[in-house]
Amino acid sequence: MGSPDDFDDSALLLEQVNQALDNATPVRIQGSNSKAFLGRTMVGEILDTRSHRGIVSYDPTELVITARCGTLLSELAEVLDAAQQMLPCEPPSFGERATVGGMIACGLSGPRRPWSGSVRDFVLGTRVITGQGKLLRFGGEVMKNVAGYDLSRLMAGSFGCLGVITEVSLKVLPKPRQTLSISLDMDSEHALRQLADWGQQPLPISAACHDGERLHLRLEGGEGSVAAAHERLGGERLDGMYWDDLNEHRLSFFDEDQPLWRLSVPNNTPRLSLPGRQLIDWGGAQRWLKSDAEATFIRKVVEEVGGHVTCFSHGLTDTPFQPLPRALMRYHRSLKQQLDPQGIFNPGRLYAEL
């Protein structure tokens, strides 16, 4: 499965981690650094994972691909595309050199997430360098292999604070036979009510976004079901590249010179009364907010509806991720202590206490 650019550099990464442990030196784990804007500012020696790269194995009939952490996301997508398969959670890249390790560590998912699942849901197994200076394997390459399965999934969204992900096995799925994007003229309140209603019906919707003026939908599935849904819903045809531009924050909405906030809220939450502009994604479960409002005010409004907030503008607040309740933070600190007892991996990236 390999190419001339494939390279197993796990021994070097392990050596660098053990040196850091011997010297009690914190390390900053990074690939292309395309998501450096997420999280708190931290210090430490850079541990560059990009030299450890390549597709380790891929069996399209088993719907499983295994890749090293420095493998480019674009390379992974190209290999899958050749077999008419995909990673359904549509992780964003935010840069041409984004890596598989960064994708797992950040755990970000794209427009299809409510209908297909998150990055975490497609992780079958990982190889991880722990804070004990060991390269361990968790999980496996099949869904029924559950030994250590949950620990592998914990790596998704951990932002490198639990260890160095060197390799990951992912479940993939066939691409849909038919895809059609449409745009409907309706305001956001009407769109949210419609989406709640459509969510109870067997419609082949795989993405839904309201940009403040129009509702955009992606329909995927068999030719008959997509055609029937289009006939029922109506609307104008939309360029399918819209979803890539949304996912990579290339829409004009994201160009505005205001702080960017990601609001995660329960399904069927009405439009939130917040200053600034909002873009509704994930059928209503994710809201993007461009606003100069104070972090405490934004969090108060979102928490009142049972949601949480992440700041996507680096350095704006010392707590970019949703503050955790004391009991939950205790669990996080306990897990960190077990996997990284010296606290050398990305210290403080998620929270000051970690």
Task: Read off the pLDDT of residues 230-259 as tens digits, 9 standing for 90 and up.
Answer: 999 999 999 999 999 999 999 999 998 899
Under CATH, which number does the domain 10-174 receive?
A: 3.30.465.10
Backbone angles phi, psi at 178, to 5 degrees: -140, 140
pLDDT at 143: 47
Q: Most distant CA pair in the chain: distance in Å?
A: 66
Residue with tokens 């360098």: 129
* Arithmetic mean of pLDDT over the chain: 94
pLDDT at 81: 97
Report yes or no: 179 and 204 within 8 Å, Cβ to Cβ. Answer: no
* 242 CB-near residues (< 8 Å, 6+ apart): 181, 216
pLDDT at 147 over 70: no
Give the closest residue to 97 by CA, choosing from 50, 139, 143, 133.
50
CATH architecture, range 178-248: 2-Layer Sandwich (3.30)
CA distance 73 to 100: 5
Report yes or no: 272 and 263 within 8 Å, Cβ to Cβ. Answer: yes
pLDDT at 141: 63
Backbone angles phi, psi at 157, to 5 degrees: 85, 10
Mapping DSSP to helix (H, G, I), strand (E, B) and coil, where does residue 346 land? coil
Q: Per residue in 297-311, pLDDT tens?
A: 999 999 999 999 999
Over residues 184-191, the mean pLDDT reads 96
Count the neighbouring beta carbons within 10 Å of the beta carbon of residue 85: 18
**Cα–Cα distances in angstroms (integers) from residue 339 to residues 101, 164, 342, in the given order:** 18, 11, 9
pLDDT at 1 over 70: no
pLDDT at 100: 98
Q: Per residue in 173-182, pLDDT tens?
A: 999 999 999 9
Parallel, antiparallel, or unpaired: how do β-strands 308-311 and 236-237 relate?
unpaired
Give the closest residue to 209 by CA, choosing from 218, 221, 198.
218
Residue with tokens 């082949």: 204
CA distance 53 to 76: 11
CA distance 152 to 190: 40
Break the chain into its structural domains and give their ranges: 10-174, 178-248, 253-324
